[in-house]
């Protein structure tokens, strides 16, 4: 939340304040930045020199993406901020030197184009001359041939000369055409650059005009403001050593900074909180209901959805959007300026909070009204299908203070900064899921023993410095375990085979019996511990009954597996595959299960046999 510690106010009426002729102008220095998801809070430090007294201080060159309603100031060393105004004004720039430089380049290109055009004209004259020479030589040779005085060597020499000249002319035409196109493209680019520079002769300057009581020795002013086009996302590099005993988690931030100003040598904080310009809670309005007849007892349908669960899900999504709009769209309007200048500061703030947030408050009340009406009229208001999703989407609010002072220029591309490098403990496993893939993967269960919450994000995995693949991790709390993959173990291969299927009828039920074989080959010279996974189908309620059969290996007794996965039909065996177990020596595991259901019904994917 953004709250000024001293009185602050921003007026959006730039034309109402007349700058004193001697008001000093400062740029200050960006000292600290907090990057949120979509915005950033910038703190600019301005040192105000003597003399003291009541003064106007202009803090200029605010970035293009500044949020005017977020600007406020704090002071120290006996300096007191009385008021602050945001304004935009056009200023002229002397771009004559840049324009002259481009004009010289344009002139040079035009001279080259003229030279190429002259070459084209000369080549055209050469073609005309060669054509005339051909029309002279051919008839003359014909006449000499009829008279028996034809000199064959002379005709051959002239013919070869004509062919060579035509070839040279064609090559020159091709070169001239290419040169002309290239020069024309350069000319077009220079003319566009000249237009842009000329337009830049007048630019808009964004300024904060601070009226303050400055101490005799001067003082400091901290100007704070939000900027748009700034965001960050977490990413990770997780590295394991060759022996797979040490794991290091590199927690990185991928930052996009296009605010229009460079952040040079600043302290930087990354936050998942939402900056808010409004400190007052929304006003709750009364809910009035009345009776109404619905045709045929039809259920009430709101704009949020036809059912209560659908309405509740949509309500949470729309409420989050409106809360964000309410937090960000707070602005002071010009109607408050006269009251402030008359000294009614607190009254102005109260009026502004009430009227600026009124629209968003009305929308929030309307959404809540519709949901509560659905609760009153719906027969079934139970259900938790969207609660887990809602909690996951809400996320958590954490801040990361980056070490040292950093620089981050305003650029279109994303920039990577490291938040922390965290050594962690992990337990490596080889995981085989033959129902999904024939490959066996390396995974590590890692305990987050750091003092940081790890936000959900992409992961790049490395083993002994070699990149092995991509991952994705969820948000990991302090002390929580998470799983990261480290690629395929090429020394292992797994397969799954349906050995037998039988079908019979017992009473009113149809009974299906299945028998499977899982095979694992180990091509390496050392035994391998493998976590082998498969599954049983699970029936809805009691419509389908699934009964496990015999298994040649005992299921895992791992407490976490037994508690979380076993009841969902997931099968897991923790086995050790001998070295060089390939071909006929491959390790095998057989298991069976039985499925029973009403003979008059069918299972999706298993059509009823008649």
Chunked mean pLDDT (size 10), the chain, 610 residues: 40 40 82 94 92 90 90 83 89 70 89 90 84 72 63 74 83 89 90 76 82 87 93 95 92 94 96 76 80 61 74 82 69 37 35 50 83 76 50 65 94 93 93 94 94 94 92 93 93 95 89 95 94 89 86 94 91 95 94 91 59
Q: Are residues 365 and 476 in the same domain?
A: no
508 with 360, same domain? no
- Name 138's Cβ contacts closer than 8 Å, sequence gap at least 6: none
The total number of structural domains in the chain stands at: 3
pLDDT of 299: 57
For residue 421, being part of any structural domain is answered with yes
Q: Is 424 among the domain residues?
A: yes
CA atoms within 13 A on the CB side of 221: 32
On whether residue 256 sits in a domain, the answer given is no
pLDDT for 17: 40
DSSP state at residue 448: -
* Residue 384 sits in the same domain as residue 424: no
| Separation of alpha carbons 398 and 594, rounded Å | 50
Q: In terms of residue numbers, what domain contains 381?
A: 295-394
How many CA atoms are closer than 13 Å to the CA of 83, on its beta-carbon side? Answer: 18
* 582 and 497 share one domain: yes
Query: Looking at the domain assignment, is residue 164 inside a domain?
Result: yes
* 373 and 434 both lie in a single domain: no
Residue 380: predicted pLDDT: 67
Same domain? 446 vs 564:
yes
Task: Give the tens place of pLDDT for each residue, 511-537.
Answer: 999 999 999 999 999 999 999 999 999
Same domain (yes/no): 358, 428: no
pLDDT per position as a tens digit, 436-451? 999 999 999 999 999 9
Q: What is the pTM of this model?
A: 0.68
Please tell me whether residues 477 and 563 are part of one structural domain: yes
- Domain final position from 171, 199, 227: 199
Task: Confirm whether 584 is domain-assigned.
Answer: yes
Domain assignment present for residue 490? The answer is: yes
Sign of CA dihedral 176, 182, 185, 191: negative
Q: Please give the Cα distance from 440 to 454 (Å, whole number).
A: 27
Radius of gyration of the chain (CA): 39
Domain final residue pick, 329, 363, 394: 394
Q: How many residues does the chain have?
A: 610
Distances in whole angstroms, Cα of residue 337 to Cα of each of 74, 151, 349: 20, 105, 11
Query: Are both 477 and 585 inside the same structural domain?
Result: yes
E-assigned strand segments in 404-480: 406-408, 415-432, 439-447, 457-463, 466-473
**Per-residue confidence (pLDDT) for residue 147, from 0 to 100:** 62
From residue 338, give the alpha-carbon distance in Å to each of 34, 121, 341, 358, 571: 33, 74, 5, 21, 74
Contacts of 259 (CB under 8 A, 6+ apart): 40, 42, 63, 64, 65, 66, 227, 228, 229, 230, 410
Same domain, 104 and 185: yes
- Report pLDDT for 140: 67
Res 349: pLDDT: 36
Question: What is the pLDDT of the chain when averaged over all its residues?
Answer: 81
- Looking at the structure, tell me whether residues 568 and 472 fall in a common domain: yes
Q: Does residue 357 share a domain with residue 440? A: no
């Amino acid at each position: 939340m953004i709250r000024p510690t001293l009185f602050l106010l921003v007026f959006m009426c730039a034309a109402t304040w007349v700058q004193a002729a001697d008001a000093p102008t400062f740029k200050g220095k960006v000292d600290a930045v907090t990057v949120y998801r979509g915005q950033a809070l910038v703190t600019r430090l301005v040192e105000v020199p003597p003399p003291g007294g009541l003064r106007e201080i202009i803090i200029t060159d605010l970035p293009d993406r500044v949020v005017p309603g977020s600007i406020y100031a704090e002071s120290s060393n006996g300096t007191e901020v009385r008021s602050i105004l945001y304004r935009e004004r056009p200023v002229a720039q002397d771009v004559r030197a840049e324009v002259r430089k481009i004009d010289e380049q344009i002139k040079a290109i035009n001279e080259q184009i003229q030279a190429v055009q002259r070459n084209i004209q000369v080549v055209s004259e050469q073609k005309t001359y060669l054509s005339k020479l051909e029309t002279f030589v051919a008839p003359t040779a014909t006449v000499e041939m009829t008279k028996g005085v034809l000199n064959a060597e002379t005709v051959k020499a002239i013919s070869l000369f004509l062919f060579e000249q035509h070839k040279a002319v064609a090559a020159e035409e091709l070169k001239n055409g290419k040169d002309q196109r290239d020069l024309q493209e350069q000319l077009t680019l220079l003319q566009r650059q000249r237009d842009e520079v000329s337009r830049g002769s007048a630019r808009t300057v964004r300024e904060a005009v601070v009226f303050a009581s400055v101490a005799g020795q001067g003082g400091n002013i901290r100007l704070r403001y939000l900027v748009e086009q700034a965001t960050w996302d977490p990413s990770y590099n997780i590295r394991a050593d060759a022996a797979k005993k040490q794991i290091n988690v590199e927690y990185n931030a991928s930052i996009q900074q296009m605010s229009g100003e460079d952040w040079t040598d600043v302290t930087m904080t990354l936050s998942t909180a939402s900056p808010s310009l409004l400190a007052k809670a929304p006003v709750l309005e009364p809910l009035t209901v009345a009776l109404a007849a619905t045709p045929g007892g039809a259920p009430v349908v709101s704009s949020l959805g036809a059912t209560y669960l659908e309405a509740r899900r949509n309500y949470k999504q729309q409420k989050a959007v409106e809360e964000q709009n309410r937090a960000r769209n707070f602005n002071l309007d010009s109607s408050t300026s006269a009251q402030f200048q008359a000294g009614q500061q607190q009254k102005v703030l109260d009026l502004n909070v009430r009227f600026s947030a009124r629209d968003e408050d009305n929308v929030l009340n309307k959404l809540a009204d519709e949901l509560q009406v659905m609760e009153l009229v719906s027969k079934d208001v139970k259900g938790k299908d969207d609660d887990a999703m809602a909690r996951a989407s809400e996320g958590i609010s954490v801040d990361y203070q980056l070490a040292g002072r950093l620089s981050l220029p305003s650029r279109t591309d994303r920039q990577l900064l490291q938040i922390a490098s965290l050594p962690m403990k992990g337990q490596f496993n080889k995981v085989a899921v033959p129902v999904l893939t024939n490959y066996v993967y390396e995974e590590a269960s890692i305990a987050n023993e750091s003092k940081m919450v790890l936000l959900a994000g992409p992961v790049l995995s490395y083993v002994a410095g070699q990149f092995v693949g991509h991952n994705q991790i969820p948000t990991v709390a302090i002390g929580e375990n998470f799983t990261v993959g480290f690629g395929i173990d090429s020394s292992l291969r797994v397969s799954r085979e349906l050995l037998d299927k039988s079908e019979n009828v017992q009473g009113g039920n149809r009974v299906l019996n299945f028998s499977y074989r899982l095979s694992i080959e180990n091509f390496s010279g050392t035994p391998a511990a493998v976590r082998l996974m498969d599954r049983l189908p699970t029936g809805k309620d009691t419509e389908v009954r699934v009964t496990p059969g015999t298994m040649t290996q005992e299921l895992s007794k791992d407490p976490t597996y037994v508690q979380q996965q076993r009841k969902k039909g997931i099968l897991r065996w923790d086995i050790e595959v001998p070295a060089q177990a390939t071909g006929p020596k491959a390790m095998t595991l057989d298991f069976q299960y039985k499925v029973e259901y009403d003979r008059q019904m069918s299972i999706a994917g298993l059509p009823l046999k008649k």
